[in-house]
A and B are shown apart, each in its own frame.
Chain A
Amino acid sequence: MAGMKTASGDYIDSSWELQVFVGEEDPEAESVTLRVTGESHIGGVLLKIVEKINRKQDWSDHAIWWEQKRQWLLQTHWTLDKYGILADARLFFGPQHRPVILRLPNRRALRLRASFSQPLFQAVAAICRLISIRHPEELSLLRAPEKKEKKKKDKEPEEEVYDLSKVVLAGGVAPALFRGMPAHFSDSAQTEACYHMLSRPQPPPDPLLLQRLPRPSSLSDKTQLHSRWLDSSRCLMQQGVKAGDVLWLRFKYYSFFDLDPKTDPVRLTQLYEQARWDLLLEEIDCTEEEMMVFAALQYHINKLSQSGEVGEPAGTDPGLDDLDAALSNLEVKLEGSAPTDVLDSLTTIPELKDHLRIFRPRKLTLKGYRQHWVVFKETTLSYYKNQDEAPGDPIQQLNLKGCEVVPDVNVSGQKFCIKLLVPSPEGMSEIYLRCQDEQQYAHWMAGCRLASKGRTMADSSYASEVQAILAFLSLQRTGGGGLGNHPQGPDASAEGLNPYGLVAPRFQRKFKAKQLTPRILEAHQNVAQLSLAEAQLRFIQAWQSLPDFGISYVMVRFKGSRKDEILGIANNRLIRIDLAVGDVVKTWRFSNMRQWNVNWDIRQVAIEFDEHINVAFSCVSASCRIVHEYIGGYIFLSTRERARGEELDEDLFLQLTGGHEAF
């Protein structure tokens, strides 16, 4: 027992005084002074501290942080000597879990308690367990970028910060589901709202904000982001993160394992959000056509999530054709006496007949729209001079199967046209149908769309298609009707379609809103039947199909080269890219890689590939740790393919990504 002294008050053992500050690293924190010897165990010291403080409190999360060595004293059976602690050590007795504000992939802020003492890899795993994202190894934390001096601070609206810091998760197993969400979210209305924020896509951003946010203008700009990744093998405390700091949570490794819409609502949503922001902020390039598809998907996803239609939409099974419908019908009426009417409904396919104005663009004609009697039956459109001639031969008959249907609509101008590009053996024939009003347009349009897919109006999706078109038109009237050349405020995007919130600023500059709207609308028709999860998945897939997908850029200087170049790190390869032109110079695949080494002193990464190809480079924009961790991380992720399972081989990860020896 340390602290034995003589009557005169001299200490007779080799004990000394150890000062320990209580609380987080605050120089003015209260301190307790203990008498210890070198043989004192950390556990004993902890006990003494608590006794000294003499306050009733749960101290179980507290541990000692040694400031000079930047190290937690977590081994309670180790002695002070073993740690090498002397009287001059500045020790802090503080909580291991501290609140941080996480900036999620969907750009929302979430306060929660993160472990400051475990390696980041474990801390992220715990965070992900809390917000129910599977496969935490794909994510990591970044430091928030340093904020530039804000001139008009008061104008910044106060942002809502969701709070999960009170929620404690029973360790180990994945939390059970309760009321459609992990049980720990269903405690209060507040946490429930938090779960909805996590699992449901956010509305499109304000186009003005979008234009203001920084966007990379060159490859070297894209390298900036990657310099901010935190080390996976060290704890937050060691990396200088303080309680209350803002950290970004992002998918770091673009190799998404076993993405499952059913079990991964949060993961899917956050991934979708990250992809969406990638595209909106031009972190990744896409073409006009691709952007329209992305915009249409965003619009669709937003519509579904706003309407609360999170589950699978009912009755839109495309496989359910008229016959199947009749079959289920018939089975219901199995005991019924009159099967004939069922068969009637089975054989009669609804048709559309009306006066429409038709225009056929031809060379050397000045003729405009002309009124015709048009009959739309099954997938065939026939038109006659007038209604009386209908039983006879039509002027023309077009089978719309396989045709292209393009809406040409201007709600404010009361123009409802359908442009059809009908393939025929001779080529494509173009024809325009002009409808009088929205109702007529919606019905004919829906019919045309189904017919182009080879389905008739008897198809079960016809009614919903009509409704979708009407809904879209009304959106254009409210939101898009007054669309000018200037983007609108955030309130406009809530009800109407503001196309500027859905496309990258590059396209905002290129197109007027009223040009964008029909194009998005056109792309939307292909995705209108998707459920929320399907649409998100489709969005992610389209994002993954972009040629530049999943490449993290780092500025490096290759050995023997005099200029900086870009190293692209993807999940299967390294790419050497010319900084100025952006051309790919060389690609090396991980599958051919023998080994890689880091020389921490000269900050150089050396990689050996098959056939004695050696590459070495020093890292310029980011520390070579980050490059090393990226490579090791991807190697690690490729190993999990074989051993399927949720269990993570953390040691392997740290072995591949860590640089223990170097520290």
Chain B
Amino acid sequence: MGESSEDIDQMFSTLLGEMDLLTQSLGVDTLPPPDPKPPRAEFNYSVGFKDLNESLNALEDQDLDALMADLVADISEAEQRTIQAQKESSQNQHHSASLQASNFSGAVPLDYGTNVAAIGISQYKEDLPPPPADPVLDLPLPPPPPDPVSQEEKEAQAKADKIKLALEKLKEAKVKKLVVKVHMNDNSTKSLMVDERQLARDVLDNLFEKTHCDCNVNWCLYEIYPELQIERFFEDHENVVEVLSDWTRDTENKVLFLEKEEKYAVFKNPQNFYLDNRGKKESKETSEKMNAKNKESLLEESFCGTSVIVPELEGALYLKEDGKKSWKRRYFLLRASGIYYVPKGKTKTSRDLACFIQFENVNIYYGTQHKMKYKAPTDYCFVLKHPQIQKESQYIKYLCCDDARTLNQWVMGIRIAKYGKTLYDNYQRAMAKAGLACRWTNLGTVNAAAPAQPAQLSTGPKTGTPQPNGQMPQAAHSVSAVLQEAQTHAETWKDKKSALGNHPQPGTPRAPQAPKSSLPPPPPMRRSSDTSGSPATTPKAKGTGGGGFLAPPIDFLPPPPPPPPPMDDLELPPPPPDFMEPPPDFVPPPPPSCAGPAGSELPPPPPPPPALAPDSARPPPAVAKRPPMPPKRHENPAPPGGAGGGEQDFMSDLMKALQKKRGNVS
């Protein structure tokens, strides 16, 4: 067990070494060559492994797969770019990249595939006989331009390019990445790789892509603090990694993906927030009778002026006294600059208003069940605290409203005061997205990707319902203690079987769309997860955008397992030995890889789908070359299946965490 987690480290270090090699190959000494010995530190330097490590705690097996997939995608992406810069070797490199990607994508056992891919890169990089040109993959790459410029100019240009690239890489290397487990509203989870540049909006877009929900504006990322019983939306412009990095290592906090009416309620019915409260008797009439045009003008007036108008909110709320259990009724008033109150009274006396809190350093949360937890007068509570505070503290402010309407008005009012116009911009972006999504569903376009994060799209299309992708089997397998999940799992396997027959059909007509994507790396990535994972999802996704990517890999993937393109297979005899050899001197794949050998050696609970059987034909030789390994792998699936959380002691950090999670689940 301990070994297996080391395996991961080892793999990471290999990956990193690879990235480093690429960097060096640029001729600019941008990074000190990482020492392969302490893999963690080294990773910390370049890809933020520390954070990975932290987030690994919260991971389950399938998450690792996703993580590996993303990592490899990054590398291949980097490689692709390198290739573009280095004209002389463009052809070779290009193919190595595509090979690498396709190797990876083809391998059914995902971890194993990743492993191989990682090695594959380094080897192909040395020197690889140029495989036959692949027309489809070539498209996205700019062909080496003819040179009308003089040699000198060309060199200067090349140099400048290199330096540019180097700096880009430097930036890239500094980018922190986090694996985030997002809970769906059906209790399933999805793991995403989120890099530090991504905003909540980008992550939502990713999730839309993966779940094929209706993309309406109510969807939000939602953070929950079980310990404090508070929760809130991520604002679309918030940096997800930044928010998550405030969480403690052992946090129970969760990120949810769900629909919340309240998120943009003010933009749907601005009158409820702006025209309420004054002239109390008429309020109901006016709020319900407002036509779209008036709403629009009200919004424009409130959000599009030189400064945003904060709804006028005032009234008595209950305030939980610092560190005490009692709640006192106080008069509160919302202004753009903060919340003010009368410290000693329930009614308004204009001039002794004192500042209660300003919004610069606090976030607003809904309190849930605070009636129970803190003896609040009602359950309509909201909480203001510094985002970094994670435990109970006197610095957290608790307020309690009389009813839900008041609560919503206050929370929205505070958000408007805190975020101002940004909120409206977010809404408009969300609206645009929702509108586009509708059209996309019809057209089946594929360019939905947020341009900056092609790699994150990797896990492949999923439907909104707990439709498993290729990784699900593993998850269900290792968490087999959860019976129910196993059942759904089994059902979905059936789905797959039945689905397989029509697999290629939906995809093929759309194949030409793949090259449309301006970013070369994503397609291989998609292929990787899609083919390796779930041919079964293809039919499900056929109506939607993501479906377009599914076909191409099957048609032209050069080396790897997917049976449809046997031609390519034949043309590329070298790769298999090439990437089969390394494993012996290389460390075995990480623990979650159980599904890999499972295809051939393990008797997994769910019957292996017939579709995958031909795929797994290739891996076995590799496994066979390492006789000592299989037994170890046998152990992997065993603990979750049998002993549950009982074996934490001998585990490495990572495995401890994994087991702990499992323990929690079961």
Contacts and interface: CB of A to CB of B under 8 A. Distances in A.
A426 interface: yes
Interface string A326-337: 110011001000
Q: Is the interface of B mostly helix, strand, loop or mixed?
A: loop
Interface residues of A, number: 45
Contacts of B307: 540-542, 544-545
Contacts of A582: 350
A146 to B, nearest CB: 30
B29 A572 contact: no
Contacts, number: 106
Interface centre among B294, B300, B306, B386 (most CB of A within 10 A): B306
Nearest to A427: B393
Interface in A576-597: 582, 584-587, 589, 591-592
A339 B353 contact: no
B337 A428 contact: no
B306 A334 contact: no
Contacts of B395: 423, 427-428
B355 A288 contact: yes
A330 B167 contact: yes
B337 A334 contact: no
A179 B600 CA distance: 83
A424 interface: yes
Interface string B528-556: 00000000000000000000000000000
Nearest to B350: A582
B171 A339 contact: no
Given A544-B307, A547-B312, A589-B275, A425 B337 contact: no
B297 to A, nearest CB: 6
Interface string A511-541: 0000000000000000000000000010011
Interface string B269-299: 0000001001100000100000000100110
A343 B30 contact: yes
B160 interface: yes
A428 B306 contact: no
A177 interface: no
B142 to A, nearest CB: 23
A402 B387 contact: yes
A18 interface: no
Given A339-B29, A424-B388, A589-B275, A293 B337 contact: yes
B163 A546 contact: no
Contacts of B90: none
A340 B32 CA distance: 11
Contacts of A542: 307, 336-337
Contacts of B279: 585-587
A291 to B, nearest CB: 10
B352 to A, nearest CB: 11
A545 B389 contact: no
B174 interface: yes
B390 A404 contact: no
A425 B29 contact: no
B422 interface: no
A156 B376 CA distance: 63
Contacts of A288: 355
A425 B358 contact: no
Nearest to A571: B301
A628 B310 CA distance: 28
Contact of A290 (B28, B309, B335): B335
Contacts of A11: none
Contact of B386 (A326, A331, A428, A641): A428
Contacts of B337: 287, 289-290, 293, 542, 545
Contacts of B350: 285, 582
Interface centre among A289, A402, A427, A589 (most CB of B within 10 A): A427
Nearest to B242: A454
A169 B305 CA distance: 33
A289 B389 contact: no
A323 B171 contact: yes
B305 A289 contact: no
Contact of A545 (B159, B336, B340, B394): B336
A259 interface: yes
B336 A546 contact: yes
A256 interface: yes
A290 B358 CA distance: 11
A425 B387 CA distance: 9
B308 interface: yes
Contacts of A572: 301
Contacts of A537: 306
Given A425-B389, A427-B395, A287 B340 contact: yes
A321 B497 CA distance: 54
Nearest to A589: B275
Contact of A331 (B163, B171, B353): B163
A546 B335 contact: yes
B639 to A, nearest CB: 31
A259 B304 CA distance: 12
Given A423-B388, A424-B388, A584-B278, A540 B306 contact: yes
Interface in A232-291: 256, 259, 285, 287-290
A609 to B, nearest CB: 11
A425 B338 contact: no
B87 interface: no
Contacts of B335: 287, 290, 545-547
Nearest to A256: B306
A404 B338 contact: no
Contacts of B285: 611
Interface centre among B28, B387, B393 (most CB of A within 10 A): B393
Contacts of B300: 641
B361 interface: yes
Interface string B413-450: 00000000000000000000000000000000000000
A641 B389 CA distance: 45
Contacts of A540: 306-307
Interface centre among A288, A323, A589 (most CB of B within 10 A): A589
Contacts of B386: 402, 423, 428
Interface centre among B340, B361, B388 (most CB of A within 10 A): B388
Contacts of A586: 278-279
B71 to A, nearest CB: 23
B375 interface: no
B516 interface: no
Contact of B159 (A289, A326, A334, A424): A334
Interface in A643-660: none
Interface string A28-71: 00000000000000000000000000000000000000000000
A293 B336 CA distance: 12
Contact of A426 (B30, B310, B389): B389
Nearest to A258: B306
Nearest to A425: B390
A224 to B, nearest CB: 20
A547 B171 CA distance: 44
Interface in A599-622: 611
Given A259-B306, A404-B361, A428-B389, A339 B28 contact: yes
A323 B174 contact: yes
B306 A541 contact: yes
Interface string A114-127: 00000000000000
Contacts of A585: 279
Nearest to B348: A583
B170 interface: yes
Given A287-B340, A402-B388, A587-B279, A323 B361 contact: no
Given A427-B396, A540-B306, 11 more contacts: A323-B171, A330-B163, A331-B163, A343-B29, A423-B361, A423-B389, A424-B388, A426-B390, A545-B310, A545-B337, A586-B278
17 contacts: A343-B29, A346-B170, A404-B361, A425-B246, A426-B390, A427-B396, A428-B386, A428-B395, A537-B306, A540-B307, A544-B307, A545-B309, A545-B335, A545-B337, A547-B335, A585-B279, A587-B278
Pick the 3 closest A-B CB pairs, nearest first: A427-B393, A545-B336, A425-B390
